[in-house]
């Protein structure tokens, strides 16, 4: 792996799979992590063949607190030049009624595992003064999210955490970028049980478009990128709007009626 390896979580489909393709095209070896072993192995094999890079799958469930350390140990001997924390999922429902066990898994995947993996790989990057980290947040990070409160809050954490660490590593040879997509055509909505969401009645982007924007921003060393001009304008407005009004608007979007 002459250029080093790209470790990508949630790589078996959607934005993660598209980012894997871009990294392979860029000449990086691939270490793909996700729960779905067969699909992950097929993707690793096809990208290795198509781009002449080394690629392998690491089957890991990031809702398991031991998974980040296991992934880290599984990369011993590799130079992880790129870390892409893409894994994440959402839940819908009034907070008083949603299942705590599912929410605990959401926190573990969306927040704790992302931070843990960053904690594990960042010191090595700083030691060799080379490396890139891409954390996938969401435009949900900018607004309160009634009916999906835990998901929106988790992405707000990812945005704030990423901006802070990006500042800490400035000038070190290591960069940290946070990608904030809006509604994206992936399996996310099916997994979250929200295929009837009003969010899907508006415009959305493809996983390929979002991945390309995130990859370019990461390679350019940008701290933050919001995918899509429409989303950028909406989030600029959100920064100025009253939070109560944003909560009311977001509730309508997260609703099915």
Largest CA distance in the chain: 53
Angle at 206 between CA 110 and CA 13, to 5 degrees: 50
Query: Among the options 21, 28, 151, 215, which is catalytic?
Result: 151
CA distance 62 to 110: 9
Provide the mean pLDDT of the chain. 91
- What's the pLDDT score for residue 1? 42
Query: Among the options 155, 170, 215, 222, which is catalytic?
Result: 155
The reply to whether 49 belongs to the active site is no
The reply to whether 222 belongs to the active site is no
Angle at 13 between CA 107 and CA 68, to 5 degrees: 40
CA distance 181 to 15: 10
Give tens-digit pLDDT for 8-52.
Answer: 999 999 999 999 999 999 999 999 999 987 889 999 999 999 999
Angle at 141 between CA 43 and CA 24, to 5 degrees: 20
Give tens-digit pLDDT for 102-158.
Answer: 999 999 999 999 999 999 999 999 999 999 999 999 999 999 999 999 999 999 999
> Taking the CB of residue 213, how many other CB atoms lie within 10 A of it?
18
User: Would the pTM count as exceeding 0.85?
Assistant: yes
Cα–Cα distances (Å) from 160 to 117, 156, 223, in that order, read 17, 6, 11
Give tens-digit pLDDT for 180-236.
Answer: 998 877 665 555 556 565 655 567 789 999 999 999 999 999 999 999 888 888 888
């Amino acid at each position: 792996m002459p250029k080093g390896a790209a470790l990508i979580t949630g790589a078996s489909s959607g934005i993660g799979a598209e980012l894997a393709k871009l990294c392979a095209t860029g000449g990086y070896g691939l270490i793909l992590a996700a729960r779905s072993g067969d699909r992950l192995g097929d993707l690793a094999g096809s990208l290795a063949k198509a781009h002449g890079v080394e690629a392998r799958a690491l089957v890991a469930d990031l809702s398991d607190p031991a998974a980040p350390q296991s992934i880290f140990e599984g990369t011993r001997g590799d130079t992880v030049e790129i870390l892409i924390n893409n894994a994440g999922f959402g839940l819908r429902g009034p907070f008083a009624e949603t299942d705590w066990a599912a929410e605990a898994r959401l926190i573990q995947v969306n927040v704790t595992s992302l931070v843990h993996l960053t904690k594990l790989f960042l010191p090595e990057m700083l030691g060799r003064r080379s490396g890139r980290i891409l954390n996938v947040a969401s435009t949900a990070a900018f607004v309160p999210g009634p009916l999906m409160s835990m998901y929106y809050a988790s992405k707000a954490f990812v945005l704030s955490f990423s901006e802070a660490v990006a500042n800490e590593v400035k000038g070190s040879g290591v960069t940290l970028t946070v990608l904030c997509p809006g509604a994206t055509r992936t399996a996310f909505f099916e997994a979250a049980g929200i295929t009837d969401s009003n969010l899907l009645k508006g415009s959305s982007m493809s996983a390929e478009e979002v991945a390309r924007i995130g990859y370019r921003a990461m390679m350019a060393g940008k701290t933050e990128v919001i995918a899509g001009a429409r989303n950028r304008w909406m989030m600029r407005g959100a920064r100025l709007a009253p939070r109560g009004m944003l909560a009311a608007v977001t509730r309508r979007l997260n609703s099915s009626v």
